[in-house]
């Protein structure tokens, strides 16, 4: 009898010991059925209104991103026959929300959000640290993308620190992004690729600073203001990044170069209030002011933009909340 219980549980893929009793088996079966019925790791029914509302609620100071990204994701998700995967490249200085936005997209596409097994995140210096192993990484990456898309076409791949990635690895990704690319019957057209980098951040900061000094409103900044998108792609191409030596940009496979603007004090303050809510600290406007003002800003004289964006706001808040 006991062996049969163990067999059932083994079939269900659970880790067991042979000391399992009947009750353990019932619990294991119940939790398996619950997982299957209620927690399957699949797609959420897509809802463009919910996506836009999430951007409006959770992203601060990034009106260009809040306009471009939900539109392009919605268009892609509702296109019954896309001719290429969605490829977005996020650019901006530290802590401006690039990872945060990738997570917002994930939680609007997958039931388990960023924790879904269909969301694959690679951080170049962490996952591909040794230059001498680049051939091995390339082969593994190629196999990983191919294998995952063949078993789940709507897979998402996030590449962080893209500017630090070896050109050979970028070139491995390139064919997957292309129009009509098909390998062994696997199409990549419904997959999502998101690249994150600080490359182009200086171009964005210079333009935002220029607007501020001319007394123009930040909201007047658009994707095509002073050809911002073109400037970013040129800057990446001319800079000393992995992008430069790869064939990604000159093949026009990136759908949008999305600029993340440097954050101002009022946006950092919004991040502090969001962290208060997250940490269940009662809302306190004075404390929010104090924490936001305690962050470093640049340029030295005007102190307009947050050096670290909203990064480490939580740590600062915890320190001040304890005072
Ligand atoms: N514009 C924003 N609106 C709301 N929250 C933000 C924003 N920017 C950053 N944050 C908050 O700060 C945290 C750190 O930001 P995030 O990791 O997204 O920055 P990043 O742009 O990816 O930085 P890096 O280039 O250094 O990796 C986020 O988890 C989020 O809580």
Helical H segments across 152-284, by residue range = 167-177, 201-213, 228-238, 242-245, 265-278
- Segments of the chain scoring below 50 in pLDDT: 1-19
At which of 259, 284, 308 does a domain end?
A: 259
Residue of 97, 269, 279 best suited for mutating to test ligand 1, as the one with most atoms within 8 Å of CB: 97
Domain presence at residue 292: yes
- Residues 314, 181, single domain; the answer is no
Helices (H) and strands (E) in the chain, counts: 14, 9
In a domain, 41, yes or no: no
What's the CA-to-centroid distance between 97 and ligand 1, angstroms? 3
Domain's final residue, options 218, 241, 259: 259
311: containing domain: 265-321
Residue 299, preceding bond cis, omega within 30 degrees?
yes
Residues 6+ apart with CB under 8 A from 166: 124, 128, 131, 134, 137, 242
How far is the C-alpha of 103 from the C-alpha of 119, rounded, in Å? 10
Residue 28 lies in a domain: no
Same domain, 167 and 67: yes
Q: Is the CB of 91 under 6 A from ligand 1?
A: no
Residues 236 and 276 grouped into a single domain: no
CA of 98 to the centre of ligand 1 (A): 6
How confident is the model at residue 88, as a pLDDT?
96
> Do 209 and 248 fall within a single domain?
yes
For residue 185, the model assigns a pLDDT of: 84
d(CA 32, CA 307): 47
Residue ending a domain, choose from 244, 259, 274: 259
79 belongs to a structural domain:
yes
State residue 124's pLDDT score: 86
């Amino acid at each position: 009898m006991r062996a049969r219980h163990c067999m059932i549980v083994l079939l269900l893929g659970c880790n067991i010991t042979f000391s399992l009793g009947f009750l353990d088996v019932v619990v294991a079966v119940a939790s398996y059925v619950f997982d299957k019925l209620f927690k399957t790791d699949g797609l959420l029914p897509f809802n463009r209104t919910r996506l836009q509302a999430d951007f409006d609620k959770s992203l601060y100071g990034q009106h260009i991103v809040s306009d471009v990204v939900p539109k392009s994701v919605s268009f892609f998700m509702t296109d019954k026959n896309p001719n290429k995967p969605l490829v977005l490249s996020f650019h901006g200085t530290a802590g401006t929300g690039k990872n945060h936005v990738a997570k917002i997209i994930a939680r609007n596409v997958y039931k388990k959000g960023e924790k879904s097994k269909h969301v694959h995140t690679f951080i170049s210096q962490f996952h591909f640290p040794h230059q001498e192993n680049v051939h091995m990484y390339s082969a593994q990456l190629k196999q990983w993308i191919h294998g995952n898309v063949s078993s789940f076409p709507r897979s998402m791949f996030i590449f962080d620190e893209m500017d630090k990635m070896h050109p050979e690895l970028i070139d491995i990704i390139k064919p997957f992004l292309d129009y009509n690319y098909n390998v062994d019957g696997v199409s990549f057209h419904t997959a999502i690729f998101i690249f994150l980098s600080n490359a182009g951040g200086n171009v964005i900061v210079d333009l935002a600073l220029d607007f501020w000094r001319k007394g123009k409103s930040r909201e007047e900044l658009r994707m095509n203001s002073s050809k911002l998108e073109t400037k970013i792609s040129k800057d990446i191409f001319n800079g000393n990044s992995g992008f430069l030596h790869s064939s990604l940009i000159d093949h026009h496979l990136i759908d949008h170069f999305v600029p993340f603007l440097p954050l101002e004090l009022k946006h950092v303050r919004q991040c502090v209030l969001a962290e208060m809510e997250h940490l269940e600290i009662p809302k306190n406007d004075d404390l929010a002011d104090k924490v936001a003002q305690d962050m470093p800003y640049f340029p030295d004289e005007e102190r307009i933009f947050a050096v670290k964006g909203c990064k480490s706001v939580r740590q600062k808040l915890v320190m001040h909340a304890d005072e």
